Amino acid sequence: MSCPICGKDADPKYRPFCSKRCADVDLARWLNGSYVIPGDIAEEEERAPTGPAGDDTPPGKPH
């Protein structure tokens, strides 16, 4: 198996990557939004409801 970042042979310690550096590059891409799952953007009413000021407490549930 080759490293998905640089194409070198994967190292079992960092599988599927060849090194910690390539694993970190991949993690950084996920964290900064470089990778996305394709699909339609949800309409406003389809998005999960949030409480006051962006609180993620479901409606009707006490804090």
5 is in an annotated binding site: no
Is 22 known as a binding-site position? Answer: yes
Among the listed residues 39, 6, 44, the one whose alpha carbon sits nearest the alpha carbon of residue 23: 6
6 is in an annotated binding site: yes
Q: Is 39 annotated as a binding residue?
A: no
Based on C-alpha coordinates, what's the Rg of the chain?
19
Phi, psi of 2 (to 5 degrees): -105, 155
The binding site comprises 3, 6, 18, 22
The binding site for Zn(2+) comprises 3, 6, 18, 22
